[in-house]
Homo-oligomer: A and B are copies of this chain.
Amino acid sequence: MREDLQQELITIVGSEAVLTDPGDCWPYGYDNSRRHALPQAVVFATRHAQIREIVALCNRRQIPLIARGKGTGTTGATVPDRGGIILSLERMDRILEIDPANRIARVEPGVTNQALQQALQPYGFFWPPDPTSAAICTVGGNLAYNSAGPRAVKYNTPRENTLGLQAVTGAGTEIRTGVITTKGVVGYDLTRLLIGSEGTLAIITEAVLKLTPLPEAKTTFRATYRDMHAAARAVSAIMAQPITPCALEFMDGASLNMVRSYSDLELPDTVGALLMVEVDGPAHGLTESLQAVTEAARVEGVIDIEVANSEQEVDQLWRTRKALSPALRNIAPKKINEDVVVPVSRIPDLISGLAQLSHEYDIQIVNFGHAGNGNIHVNLLTDPDDPEKMARAHECLGRTFDLVLQLGGTLSGEHGVGLEKRDFVDREIEPATLQLMHAIRQQFDPLGILNPGKMLPESHT
């Protein structure tokens, strides 16, 4: 880290907001992919104008600039593998405005998802995106990855729940995109272009979010099935009737076995797949809505449907699902965790195909996820310290992606691309379309300083 660069950064944000000591910078080189690279510096911005100056500085010196929320991403998208400066937005965390009459909130990127939800709750509203990391992750990160969660099946993703943005492009230009109203068709839609662009086009400095009224009531049930074919039939039947659940989560047989081995939960041996379903809405019609959804869930091969009648029973029903993550960590601390998507009707083909790959490569594969969106988390359990096994796992992963694409799916539903999937992107997106994406990137960031090498495979530059 050259002294004068450090000095320039301090001039912009003050000495309290610049880290250059490698020990201090170290934790900012990680994300949840467990990749790591040491940045040259970490700088904490708190104001829009500072970001403009930092971007200008990085352009002058041609230094990579990597925007970072709380580092909960799983793809290495915020890991500074080419060095450069980490722009931490965690201190730029104000909720600038909550306007219930217009169903909007205006926020800075560093506010956590949970802090936002808590602030909205007294007004009777929420912001739909609900990644598992909601307690820690930032809204800016949610926007960067278009992160969703279980609720997306009913309430969609950040792209459908964001109205406008303020941002600084890679060229250092301040732009405003979109509107603050729920309709608006003037100019090109740069809002959605920035959402999901993983910090490669612009740094989002402010967002106008579209709020949804909190449902009056919610009810939960668990349905167990003979096998995943039966569970998949239930998913299709549920999605074909008019009451869309607000969570429709799936666990396959391998997931259930894992939970059986690593917890004291009692789950009959006959159960080969499980659905966790939540239905929300106005209190008055909820019983009937629940009945319509359980009815749809009662397909051939169903074993049991248990409806929770109290908060305690809700927790009880979720225990199986919640026991899975610790069990997985226990058996395979460095599992390969993907979040592929296939059309809902192709879930059985995906799970069958994965069983075959599991057999062929002698790798245990555990599947669970957001069935209502066809968004399945595929976990390849392998030993990261065994290079031979890792090579095998990576070959298997490549075959998994091919299977997903062959079924009409996509490589990622909510985790994004980052470094982890970058070299697979050209299996999904054709060269001409990729070239166009690179050309667009260049309009935003001509010198390529923003998060270089992430998201788009480079061969198409």
Contacts and interface: CB of A to CB of B under 8 A. Distances in A.
A412 B285 contact: no
A231 interface: no
Contacts of A370: 183
A288 B283 CA distance: 9
Contact of A282 (B190, B243, B441): B243
A440 B373 contact: no
Contact of A408 (B157, B180, B285): B180
Given A242-B124, A289-B285, A436-B175, A409 B181 contact: yes
Q: Which of A169, A440, A441 has the most CB of B within 10 A?
A: A440
A63 to B, nearest CB: 23
Nearest to A409: B181
B413 A184 contact: yes
A186 B412 contact: yes
Given A124-B240, A214-B242, A413 B185 contact: yes
A343 B159 contact: no
Contacts of A102: 343-345, 374
A352 interface: no
Interface string A385-400: 0000000000000000
Given A189-B195, A190-B437, A341 B373 contact: no
B285 A284 contact: yes
A102 B374 CA distance: 9
Interface stretch (A87-95, A269-277, A422-430): A422-430
A27 interface: no
Interface in A182-237: 182-193, 195-197, 201, 213-216, 236
Interface in A139-198: 145-146, 148, 152-153, 156-157, 159-160, 169, 173-177, 179-193, 195-197
Nearest to A408: B180
Given A189-B196, A436-B169, A148 B282 contact: no
A25 B360 CA distance: 63
Contacts of A189: 159, 189, 192-193, 195-196
Each complex incorporates copies of this chain amounting to 2
A160 B156 contact: yes
Nearest to A175: B433
Contact of A183 (B184, B292, B413): B413
Contacts of A440: 188, 440, 443
Contacts of A375: 181, 183
A189 B341 CA distance: 17
A44 B239 CA distance: 38
Interface in A415-461: 415-417, 421, 425, 428-430, 432-434, 436-437, 439-441, 443-444, 455-456
A188 to B, nearest CB: 5
20 contacts: A100-B240, A102-B344, A103-B239, A124-B240, A124-B242, A145-B185, A156-B160, A156-B182, A173-B432, A176-B430, A177-B433, A180-B343, A187-B437, A187-B455, A188-B193, A188-B197, A189-B192, A190-B436, A213-B241, A282-B292
Given A100-B240, A124-B240, A188-B197, 7 more contacts: A101-B344, A173-B436, A183-B414, A187-B417, A187-B434, A216-B242, A285-B288
- Closest 4 A-B residue pairs measured CB to CB? A285-B285, A284-B288, A183-B413, A213-B242
Interface of A: 99-104, 124, 145-146, 148, 152-153, 156-157, 159-160, 169, 173-177, 179-193, 195-197, 201, 213-216, 236, 239-244, 281-282, 284-286, 288-289, 292, 341-345, 370, 373-375, 408-417, 421, 425, 428-430, 432-434, 436-437, 439-441, 443-444, 455-456
